[in-house]
Amino acid sequence: MAVKRININDFLELAKTHLVIDVRSPSEYAYAHIPNAHSMPLFTDEERKVVGTAYKQLSRENAIKFGLDYFGPKMRKMVEEVEKLSKVSDNEPHTTKTILVHCWRGGMRSGAISWLLDLYGFQVFTLEGGYKAYRNWTLQQFEKPFNFKIIGGFTGSGKTPLLYGLKKNNQAIIDLEGLANHKGSALGGIGQNPQPSQEMFENLLGMELVRYDETTPIYLEDESQRIGNMQIPMAMWHNMRKSLVYFIDIPFEERLDYLTKEYGNLVKQELVTAIMRIQKRLGGLETKNAINFLLENNPKESFRILLKYYDKWYEKGLYNRENPEELIKKIESQVVDNEINTDILMSNIK
């Protein structure tokens, strides 16, 4: 067998069913990587720095010698780790396993580990152009004219559960807030896992998009361009703003009750900190009142202030589209109930 170099499309197709090994340094991987790739760094961050310095200040040959010093003692452990990761069954010999390997540009790091794994008996494919080629592919996904359909509604309308209600009805969805680990509002990061890097968010989003062709209706929530610290890529954002919006219109008090149940038991100090972040836009007096209601164990009145604020800003953004009268389809509902509202929505999209 011999190591084969393949392009990004073939690489991602094989990655659906085969093990992907990312041999970049731990910090490179931690910042962003191909979703589901396993980290197996050829060098630690410090070793990579030493090799890189040798390459720049001494010569390519000296850098390779330093690299071999680091690589040699790791060879057996790397083979055993790949063997363990790739093992499908006790009866299947490792020689039938296909392994995909990449580094940053498809150079010496992936070349070294691919050589080792090929020598041991794996069928090895490396990514032409490395992770950089994958990033270029990812950015291209956001330029495609996908057929987005937007689920709109004021804060507290239960839009995220509605998305999953559509999914149960065999509709294509992408949960942007789930990918971003943030629910969108000032309170949206409370109780969530840390947000990924912007680059990792884009990688996750690109892999979601590629699951669908450009004619398939894909349902997304109506978001501002920023979700916490994440930015929806500009080309995709413009596409979303030109897409049909199914706006589920639910009475204020119903949404307020829903928000109070959803957020009312969160840690007070975290809620106060979140409210302080929007102080300039909320205004000094309303900020003070919202915080005082929280401290007095009256979250409902605190959220009433916040909900009025978000309704005002959401409505402004809703109609700040070209031809909003053609793009916004209002759907009335009296309750925040996912089963009822999914049925209402399904009757309007068929």
Which residues are designated catalytic?
A: 103
Specify which residues 246 forms β-bridges with: 151, 329
The phi and psi torsions of 226 (rounded to 5 degrees) equal -100, 130
Q: Would you call 191 exposed, middle or buried from its count of C-beta atoms within 10 A (0-12, 13-18, 19+)?
A: exposed
For residue 258 the two structure tokens come to 């829903």
Sequence-distant (≥ 6) Cβ neighbours of residue 342 within 8 angstroms: 162, 165, 166, 168, 169
Q: Which amino acid is at 174?
A: I
Measured CA to CA in angstroms, residue 296 lies from 3, 22, 279, 340 at distances of 67, 52, 19, 35
Helix (H, G, I), strand (E, B) or coil at 278: coil
Handedness of CA 39, 42, 46, 50 (dihedral sign): negative
Closest among 189, 40, 58 to 122, alpha carbons compared: 40
